[in-house]
Structure 1
Amino acid sequence: MDVQPQLDYRQVFTLAPAGLCISQWRVIAQANARLESIFRYPPGQLNDTDFDALYPTGRDVARGAEGAATALNARGIYACERIMKRLDGELFWCRLIGRSLTPAEPLASCIWTFEDLSAPHPVSPALSDREREIALLIAEGKTSKMVARHLNLSPRTVEMYRSRLMAKFSSNTSSGLAGRLMRPGEH
């Protein structure tokens, strides 16, 4: 008879190759070593950290919290690619996927995975906060009107920013700009 060894799930969580954490009301209750490495936190320092510390600006915090709450309430799962902030202030693209562990209160307890996308998608430091905010929405495939509505701006203002981004990323079309935003190293 072949006896299988008992899995130590705490060790699996701690040593997983993906950044993982358990959150309670958007506060990290437990982070694994890979997540600490991605965000450049010393061992144990991400625990009890509010998710707000991982976002570049207050606007990013609000958008992330609103998007997560909406998706978790509707489907119990949330996924996105967004710019996040390491402990040293460096910005980077990150894939974030979360699942609620408490369907009746979706944000009460969640498990999250984080994937550092900075190698294939470096963040251009030459972008202002507003340009970065608009670039994120364009990279999601939103039109200027949708971006304007989302950010409470006029479509003309968004078009001005889109033109500026197209010049910075050497793109002649909006679809080309969206592609360059997701692959900025290729321009």
Structure 2
Amino acid sequence: MLELDQIAYDHAPMGLVLTEHRVIRTCNDTFAQMFGYEKEDLIGQSFRLLYGTDHEFHQVRDIGLEPLRQSLPYSDERLMRCADGNRIWCRFRARTLTPEDPLARTVLSFALIETKDSGPQLTKREREVVLLLSQGKTSKEIARDLGLSPRTVEDVRARLLKKFEVKNVAVLLARLAGLSSSPMS
């Protein structure tokens, strides 16, 4: 039966990963293929490898820790970097095996949402603003965090609303989370 379990794990329709303190300890074939790596090349690597910048990697660290501490799963969407440098949107889900230290041992799943060729593309600045908006931050707080003027953040927000054809940030975040598909909702 163990052989069947391994086949099911390796060929699951989503990427599966076990991490310890954000280091990949094991992953399935689907995960490695999704990101354009060989499985052996990912084992022992920091998840930093899959983020565009150190800043992004560190910025997402604490997102979702509170539900994990309560033994609840956490889910969001992330823009991740593949081996070839291209970026993909993934639905990310996490469950910790160690609620007292949520990142000590965590099981993650990744499902591809869209590739670089589908849907509106986000600039680095737009990704930063969306990430902070998803944390409930105001334009002033985002401006302070990114070292920008509040007016610049407002311009980025307006550009995002236009790009995704939505009326407000709540609908934008819902669209990015796959909860709404109609324009100008």
Give the TM-score range, shorter chain: 0.7 to 0.9
C-alpha change, 1:65 and 1:150, in structure 2 (3 Å) is: farther
- Report the counterpart of residue 145 of structure 2 in structure 1: 151
Question: Retained in 1: the 8 A contact 2:164–2:172?
Answer: yes
1:72 Cα deviation after fit: 2.2
Range that drifts further, 45-54 or 148-157: 148-157
C-alpha change, 1:74 and 1:116, in structure 2 (3 Å) is: same
C-alpha change, 1:150 and 1:51, in structure 2 (3 Å) is: farther
- Report the counterpart of residue 21 of structure 1 in structure 2: 17
User: 1:52-85, CA deviations, whole angstroms, 9 ceiling, x for partnerless residues?
Assistant: 1111222221122111444422445321111111
1:28 Cα deviation after fit: 0.5
Question: Which of 148, 156, 162 is the matching residue for 2:157?
Answer: 162
1:45 Cα deviation after fit: 1.4
Larger Rg: 1
Letter in structure 2 aligned against 1:162: R
- Report the counterpart of residue 132 of structure 1 in structure 2: 127
C-alpha RMSD of the superposition: 3.3
Letter in structure 1 aligned against 2:145: L
Question: Retained in 1: the 8 A contact 2:143–2:153?
Answer: no
- Report the counterpart of residue 76 of structure 2 in structure 1: 80
Give 1:41-52 correspondences, 5 Å limit: 41-52=37-48
Unaligned runs of 5+ in 2: none
C-alpha change, 1:179 and 1:72, in structure 2 (3 Å) is: closer
Give 1:83-102 correspondences, 5 Å limit: 83-102=79-98
C-alpha change, 1:76 and 1:181, in structure 2 (3 Å) is: closer
Unaligned runs of 5+ in 1: 1-5
Question: Retained in 1: the 8 A contact 2:120–2:163?
Answer: no
C-alpha change, 1:108 and 1:129, in structure 2 (3 Å) is: same
1:186 Cα deviation after fit: 8.3
1:129 Cα deviation after fit: 1.4
1:163 Cα deviation after fit: 2.4
- Aligned residues with identical type, % of pairs: 31
